[in-house]
């Protein structure tokens, strides 16, 4: 039986990188990934990319393949355009390509330069286009205001407090302080979060992700067993809506479905997960994912963060590299760093922030406003 294994990971620097466009960042991430795996360019026969908010090539993966000089050797080439779920969905797709026999070495890349490649006005215009043209755009709905709706609904329905939302940002900053590559490593307290300026009530500045340039990659390769790499033992997708105005519930998401499917495939349960690399675009997103993925009950996410803990030493380590809130959010491929971090944790090479006795890690990607959800469960090979 052919098994897909993650054998290589790579990352670029993050921050403001004006000397590198998105294609150059893809190349840098690819080189680092192949070097980590001890693989050669000629071995790559599959390529998956996560698109770009800056360089919107209509055949994005093919444009990247052309830039890398891979076109003629590829037996599969595809772009995944599912926002923050793109990276996790790309890894799931790579696994299917390998296990079907279509490919033997698939490169998954995600990189963008939205911090230096987009002006403020261009970014606002772009994000506005993601919203429904008739029922969202005329009212000025953008991502922060959409997530603010979710936070307000959760607070109203379950009594979630601002301090509990702020604790998400503080906890993830604790992880970032242990990661020398994170953008934001200064000490952060709940009072600091609550004192930061309001972006869209009730969300504060420090509850919103840190936009940056950067990228990363993973190499998946075929083997007769999962030995010698990190195995993907479960994956699932889940959807309840695309536009938030059509969401059946502002306090829950398709993560209920994606998580259930991933756990069923893996034959595992939430209490067997040692690390959860959740998609922390906004603090409320983490609370909802904790509930939907089964780590706590509906409405209990705020209390879980406050009492059980997601910071170092807590019951469930979350976003152990510093996440989108403190490490970096490069745009469409934002979830790529959650994947590379999960692999690093499972390898036991997350120096300075290694979670002890780790066997299983969960990675969740979320695109849109709770729109696209993909859950992966990884284990040591």
Sign of CA dihedral 11, 13, 16, 19: negative
pLDDT digit string, tens, across residues 224-233: 865 679 999 9
Label residue 210 by pLDDT band (50, 70, 90): confident
Token pair for 35: 């070097």
pLDDT-derived band at 352 (thresholds 50, 70, 90) equals very high
Confidence of residue 187 (pLDDT cuts 50, 70, 90): very high
Res 181: pLDDT: 97
- Of 120-129, 199-208, 331-340, the range with the highest mean pLDDT is 199-208
CA distances from 143 to 148, 184, 273, 364 (A): 8, 22, 30, 19
Average pLDDT score over residue span 144-166: 98
Check pLDDT > 60 for residue 367: yes
What's the confidence (pLDDT) of residue 334?
86
Tens digits of per-residue pLDDT, 276-315? Answer: 999 999 999 999 999 999 999 999 999 999 999 999 999 9
Q: How far is it, in rounded angstroms, from Cα 372 to Cα 89?
A: 10
Question: Of 297, 294, 295, which is closest to residue 310 (Cα–Cα)?
Answer: 295
**Beta pairing, strands 105-113 & 46-49:** parallel
- Where do the structural domains in the chain lie, given as residue ranges? 3-118+212-223
Tokens of 113: 């330069």
Residues 6+ apart with CB under 8 A from 152: 201, 202
Per the model's pLDDT, the better-predicted residue between 224 and 335 turns out to be 335
3-118+212-223 has which CATH code?
3.40.47.10
Can you give the three-state secondary structure of the chain, one letter per residue?
A: CCEEEEEEEEECCCECCCCCCHHHHHHHHHHHHHHHHCCCHHHCCEEEECCCCCCCCCCHHHHHHHHHCCHHHCCEEEECCCHHHHHHHHHHHHHHHHHHCCCCEEEEEEEEEHHHHCCHHHHHHHHHHCCCCCCCHHHCCCHHHHHHHHHHHHHHHHCCCHHHHHHHHHHHHHHHCCCCCCCCCCCCCHHHHHHCCEEECCEEHHHECCECEEEEEEEEEEECCCCCCEEEEEEEEEECCCCHHHCCCCCCCCHHHHHHHHHHHHCCCHHHCCEEECCCCEHHHHHHHHHHCCCCCCCCHHHHHHHHCCCCCCCCCECCCCHHHHHCECCCCCCHHHHHHHHHHHHCCCCCCCCCCCCEEEEEEEECCCCEEEEEEEEEC
- The number of beta carbons lying within 10 Å of the beta carbon of residue 76 is 18
Q: What is the percentage of the chain residues whose pLDDT exceeds 70?
A: 99
114 has a pLDDT exceeding 60: yes
Mean pLDDT across 204-222: 97
Q: Mean pLDDT across the chain, nearest whole number?
A: 96
**Distance (Å, rounded) from C-alpha 79 to C-alpha 61?**
5
**Is the Cα torsion angle 96, 341, 112, 239 positive or negative in sign?**
positive
């Amino acid at each position: 039986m052919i098994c897909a294994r993650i054998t290589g990971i790579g990352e670029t620097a993050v921050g403001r990188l004006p000397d590198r466009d998105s294609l150059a960042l893809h190349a840098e991430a690819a080189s680092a990934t192949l070097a980590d795996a001890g693989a050669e360019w000629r071995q790559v026969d599959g390529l998956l990319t996560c698109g770009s908010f800056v360089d919107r090539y209509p055949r994005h993966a093919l444009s990247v393949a052309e830039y890398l000089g891979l076109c003629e050797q590829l037996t599969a080439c595809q772009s995944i355009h599912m926002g923050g779920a793109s990276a996790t969905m790309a890894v799931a797709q790579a696994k299917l390509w390998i296990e079907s026999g279509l490919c033997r070495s698939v490169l998954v890349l995600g990189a963008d330069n939205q911090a230096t490649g987009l002006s403020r006005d261009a970014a606002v215009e772009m994000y506005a286009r993601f919203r429904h043209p008739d029922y969202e755009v005329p009212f000025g709905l953008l991502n922060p205001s959409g997530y603010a709706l979710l936070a307000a609904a959760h607070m109203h329905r379950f009594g979630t407090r601002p301090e509990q939302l702020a604790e998400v940002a503080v906890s993830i900053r604790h992880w970032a302080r242990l990661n020398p590559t994170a953008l934001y490593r200064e000490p952060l307290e709940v009072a600091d979060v609550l004192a930061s300026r309001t972006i869209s009530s009730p969300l504060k500045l420090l509850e919103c992700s840190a936009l940056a340039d950067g990228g990363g990659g993973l190499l998946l390769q075929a083997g007769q067993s999962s030995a010698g790499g990190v195995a993907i033992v479960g994956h699932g997708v889940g959807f309840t809506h695309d536009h938030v105005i059509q969401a059946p519930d502002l306090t829950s998401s398709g993560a209920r479905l994606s998580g259930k499917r991933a756990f069923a495939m893996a034959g595992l349960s939430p209490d067997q997960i040692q690390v959860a690399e959740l998609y922390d675009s906004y603090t409320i997103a983490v609370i909802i994912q904790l509930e939907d993925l089964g780590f706590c009950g509906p409405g209990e996410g705020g209390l879980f963060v406050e009492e059980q803990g997601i910071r170092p030493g807590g019951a469930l380590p979350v976003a152990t590299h510093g996440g989108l809130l403190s490490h970096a959010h490069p745009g469409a491929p934002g979830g790529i760093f959650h994947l590379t971090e999960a692999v690093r944790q499972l390898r036991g090479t997350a120096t300075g922030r290694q979670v002890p006795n780790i066997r299983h890690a969960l990675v969740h990607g979320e695109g849109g406003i709770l729109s696209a959800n993909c859950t992966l469960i990884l284990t040591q090979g």
